[in-house]
Amino acid sequence: MDLKNLLSQININADWIGMREVREKGTYRVIRDGNPQANGAGTSHGIMVEVLAKGQFGYYATNDMSISGIQHAAEKAKDQAMRASEYSLYSFSEDARPKATGSYESSFSKAADSISAGEINEILLAGCDALKVSNHIVSASAYGLITETEFNFVSTNGSDVNQKFLMVTSDFSATAQDGNIFQRRTGGRTGHQIGLEVFDKNNIISLCSGIGKQAVELLSAEECPTGTMDMVLASDQMMLQIHESIGHALEIDRILGDERNYAGWSFIRLEDFGTLQYGSNLMNVTFDPTVEHELASYAFDDGGLEAQHQYIIKEGLLVRGLGGKESQIRSNTPGVANFRASSWNRAPIDRMANLNLEAGESSFDDIISNIDYGVYMETNRSWSIDDYRNKFQFGSEYGRLIENGKLTKTVKNPNYRGVTTPFWNNLKKVGDASTFGVHGTPNCGKGEPNQVIRVGHASPVCQFENIEVFGGV
């Protein structure tokens, strides 16, 4: 199918027309307690037709790829735009859809068809077996998802973009029991743009054995202490911290109130950009869709804006929001190329993508050695944050006490709470490149109707001081 040829045959009077075609294939495998639970595959393919008329954008999605089907979709999209113009607060021009030409492809070593479904099942079964390190493990599971996505975008102002993504998500989980005490430990690749090199049997067995041992270890661990103290977060827990207290708070459409009836607002005001000290001067947060293997890397967003490495927070100062071209126009605020849709049948909205905390200069030993008493935490277990993305409470799966500059005994159910800007202003040390981890959140929900989309986060290990830490479920 020639997308440009289809575009050329649309016959309507409009200021601009765009067509976004998305083809996706997903295959998944689930193993539970040594038995296959699910082996499935699904495909999705369709086109979103976008029309600018009378200063407004209208959308209409279709899986009818015929000329008549596309023409019908374009007419419906124009109708939507004309209706919206009667109630509009902002008027857009073609400038909201910059001309974009180029391509992108995920980096990988092994293609999606390089390992058979049977071989993947065998590897996941081996991982599941490795999780059962003792009779205390009462449940073990292994999960793998391979997603192949192709994105094509053309427009009447000359856009022509092709992007191909290969993404792999894996997860391994062990639940340990001793009487009425239960502890769960998880691990794996939460989502990366990568190939099937992820399914290395020896690496997975080693990983799963460690997960199982830590689940058992947590059964006899003491409860996390309660008090105000230093806290060190591993990069996988930092992923959640960045996502909830920075990412959603800085999405410009949320700041403008677009989500107030669904998911709340934000404590950030437009006048805070360029003035608000979000965190300590060690805090450098970037929008970076160029990182190899990170889950939300790409060359162009769904509105045709070229994606670039840009500072969101620099030396603690809030300098830029997470808003695509439309939100930048509406707010008169600098943003980034993060206008994204979850599928061909959804309109793009502002979505964080690769949102990363840049590495600092401290080794892990440097961080730990200067702490008299505190707690180290890994892997998110629970989260709660208010509708303004301000007050939060997060829990982790695994903790270690820090005493006199050394990691000592394991503690279970470690939790912490805080308020966003005071918390980030308590950032005391930022780990160097050796502590840096790349992670992904494959199921971030937002929008009406709801859209679930992939997000990437990378971070080093970080130390925070004067944090309210506590134990308990």
Do both 188 and 260 map to the same domain? no
Do both 465 and 401 map to the same domain? yes
Give the pair of three-digit tokens for residue 276: 């608000």
Do both 150 and 277 map to the same domain? no
Q: Are strands 101-105 and 160-178 parallel, antiparallel or unpaired?
A: parallel
Q: Which domain-ending residue is among 220, 255, 280?
A: 220
Do both 66 and 197 map to the same domain? yes
Work out how many domains the chain is built from and give that number.
2
Do both 131 and 90 map to the same domain? yes
pLDDT of residue 96: 97
Do both 375 and 261 map to the same domain? yes
User: Angle at the Cα of 196 (from 190 to 200), degrees rounded to 5?
Assistant: 85
Query: CB-based contacts of 125: which residues, under 8 Å, 6+ apart?
Result: 31, 34, 36, 142
Do both 201 and 229 map to the same domain? no
Give the integer Cα–Cα distance in Å for 367 and 435. 11
- How many C-alpha atoms does 14 have within 13 Å on its Cβ side? 32
Do both 296 and 171 map to the same domain? no
Q: Assign residue 198 the CATH number of its domain.
A: 3.30.2290.10
Tokens 């009836």 sit at which residue?
261
Q: What is the extent of the structural domain holding 103? A: 3-220
Do both 192 and 216 map to the same domain? yes
Using the CB atoms, write b or e for 31-49: b if 16+ within 10 Å: beeeeeeeeeeeeeebbbb
Do both 165 and 305 map to the same domain? no
Do both 245 and 303 map to the same domain? yes
232, 376 Cβ separation under 8 angstroms: yes
Q: Is the pTM of this model over 0.85?
A: yes
Do both 216 and 228 map to the same domain? no
Give the pLDDT of the chain (473 residues) as one tens digit per residue.
699 999 999 999 999 999 999 999 999 999 999 999 999 999 999 999 999 999 999 999 999 999 999 999 999 999 999 999 999 989 999 999 999 999 999 999 999 999 999 999 999 999 999 999 999 999 999 999 999 999 999 999 999 999 999 999 999 999 999 999 999 999 987 899 999 999 999 999 999 999 999 999 999 999 999 999 999 999 999 999 999 999 999 999 999 999 888 888 999 999 999 999 999 999 999 999 999 999 999 999 999 999 999 999 999 999 999 999 999 999 999 999 999 999 999 999 999 999 999 999 999 999 999 999 999 999 999 999 999 999 999 999 999 999 999 999 999 999 999 999 999 999 999 999 999 999 999 999 999 889 999 999 999 999 999 999 999 87
Q: Which domain-ending residue is among 167, 195, 220?
A: 220
pLDDT of residue 99: 97
Q: Which domain-ending residue is among 183, 204, 220?
A: 220
pLDDT of residue 189: 76
pLDDT of residue 361: 97
Return the biggest CA–CA distance within the chain. Answer: 74
pLDDT of residue 448: 86
- The candidate with the shortest Cα–Cα distance to 243, out of 291, 285, 213, 280, is 285
